[in-house]
């Protein structure tokens, strides 16, 4: 058994021990997806949203649903709909992620508020475990194309950094030269004393593509363990699903601006409606609170159009999805909020 498979098995066991739960069901609006296997993952759809530059609306996507079929797990469903494990679990408390009931309709939290307030290059919101990529269509500086991908981040003790960087180098089939501190960890935990792992090796945690940051040794790369997307599993780097990094890699030139932010509370607007989106404080830098929610709203000039009680409801109930906090109308998640796909 490889080091990666041992680590993967242990991680799944730990996940089962820490899983929590309260079932919620919604009517299925998405029908007929293919069998959720590697072929389906390779062909899955990634939506590109088109917004003005700068955005006058910062909520994209819409919440969907999926009806569980025999043999499917949350790992499969999350990957097919380009979600992280964290996102689908938080949106469906009470549903067993490894043995969801056949026929159960699960929420797909495929609506997001864009992190404030940089809309250029790559932006990673660390507590959300999600990457946003912005670029202009050819010859059009007034519009932005936006894509967003789930990621894996650094575990406790190996935190993914915050700050502004750029892409300094890109590599296909990168060789992993193992830092000595990580090598000693591998020796202790797995009896693995390798100094490096060749590009293309199935045990190589960098996967097939790596984009190195201007802060060595950190990078954005693929993975040999796709189940780790939406988890704290790395030594500080950012991991993407293999099919996601394959799509993103050719779109990102060397020199692209990169910013890693830490926003457990995001605020945004679409069609005059204000939303708040809440995520766990994974590194305990300062979690979601009423004060931080209003600070996020104030930063974008949205504090004058909200109901304080709805903000409190959002802090309790957001489940990682945009939650309406404007007065009037029915409050709740942005189930029908659609970005403008390109």
Domains in the chain with CATH codes: 121-261 (2.40.440.10), 265-324 (no CATH)
Q: Of 106, 119, 46, give the one whose Cα is nearest residue 76.
A: 106
Q: Tokens 């790992």 correspond to what residue?
A: 75
Residuewise pLDDT in 10s, the chain (342 residues) = 344 433 444 343 333 333 322 222 233 333 468 999 999 999 999 999 999 999 999 999 999 999 999 999 999 999 999 999 999 999 999 999 999 999 999 999 999 999 999 999 999 999 999 999 999 999 998 999 999 999 999 998 899 999 999 999 999 999 988 888 889 888 988 898 888 899 999 989 999 999 999 999 999 999 999 999 999 999 999 999 999 999 999 999 999 999 999 999 999 999 999 999 999 999 999 989 999 999 999 999 998 889 999 999 999 987 999 999 999 755 555 444 444 454
| pLDDT at position 178 | 85
**C-alpha count within 13 angstroms, C-beta hemisphere, residue 186:** 18
Q: In 125-204, where does DSSP find H-type helix?
A: 180-190
- CB neighbour class for 143 (10 Å; exposed up to 12, middle 13-18, buried from 19): middle
Identify the active-site residue in 66, 221, 235, 279: 221
Q: Of 93, 63, 105, give the one whose Cα is nearest residue 81.
A: 63
Identify the active-site residue in 66, 116, 235, 237: 237
Active site residue 237: yes
Cα dist from 325 to 39, 306, 309, 315, 334, whole Å: 40, 5, 8, 10, 10
Summarize the chain as % helix, strand, coil (round to 5).
Answer: 25, 25, 50
Judged by DSSP in three states, 197 sits in: strand
Residue 7 has which token pair? 């680590």
332 backbone φψ class: left, alpha, beta (φ>0; ψ -120 to 50)? left
| pLDDT at position 24 | 29
Active site residue 221: yes
| pLDDT at position 32 | 65
- According to DSSP, residue 204 is labeled -
């Amino acid at each position: 058994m490889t080091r990666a498979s041992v680590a993967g098995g242990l991680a799944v066991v730990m996940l089962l021990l820490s899983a929590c739960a309260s079932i919620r069901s919604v009517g299925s609006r998405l029908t007929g997806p293919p069998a959720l296997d590697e072929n389906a993952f390779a062909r899955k759809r990634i939506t590109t949203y088109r917004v003005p530059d700068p955005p006058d609306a910062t909520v994209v996507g819409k919440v969907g649903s999926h009806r569980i079929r025999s043999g499917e797990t949350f790992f499969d469903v999350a990957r097919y709909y380009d979600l992280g494990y964290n996102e689908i679990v938080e949106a469906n408390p009470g549903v067993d992620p490894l043995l969801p009931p056949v026929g159960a309709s699960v929420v797909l939290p495929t609506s997001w508020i864009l992190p404030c307030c940089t809309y250029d290059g790559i932006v990673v919101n660390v507590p959300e475990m999600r990457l946003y990529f912005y670029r202009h269509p050819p010859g059009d500086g007034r519009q932005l194309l936006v894509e967003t991908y789930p990621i894996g981040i650094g575990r406790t003790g190996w935190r993914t950094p915050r700050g502004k960087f750029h892409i300094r180098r890109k590599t296909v089939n990168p060789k992993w030269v193992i830092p000595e501190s990580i090598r000693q960890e591998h020796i202790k935990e797995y009896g693995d004393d390798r100094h490096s792992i060749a590009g293309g090796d199935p045990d190589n945690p960098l996967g097939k593509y790596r984009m190195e940051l201007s802060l060595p040794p950190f990078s954005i790369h693929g993975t040999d363990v796709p189940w780790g997307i939406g988890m704290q599993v790395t030594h500080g780097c950012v991991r993407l699903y293999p099919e996601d990094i394959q799509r993103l890699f050719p779109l990102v030139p060397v020199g692209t601006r990169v910013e890693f932010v830490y926003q457990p509370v995001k605020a945004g607007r679409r069609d005059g409606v204000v939303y708040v989106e809440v995520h766990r404080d994974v590194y305990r830098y300062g979690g979601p609170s009423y004060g931080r929610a209003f600070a996020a709203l104030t930063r974008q000039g949205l504090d004058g159009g909200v109901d304080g009680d709805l903000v409190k409801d959002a802090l309790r109930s957001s489940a990682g999805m945009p939650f309406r906090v404007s007065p009037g109308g029915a409050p709740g998640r942005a189930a029908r909020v659609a970005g403008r796909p390109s």
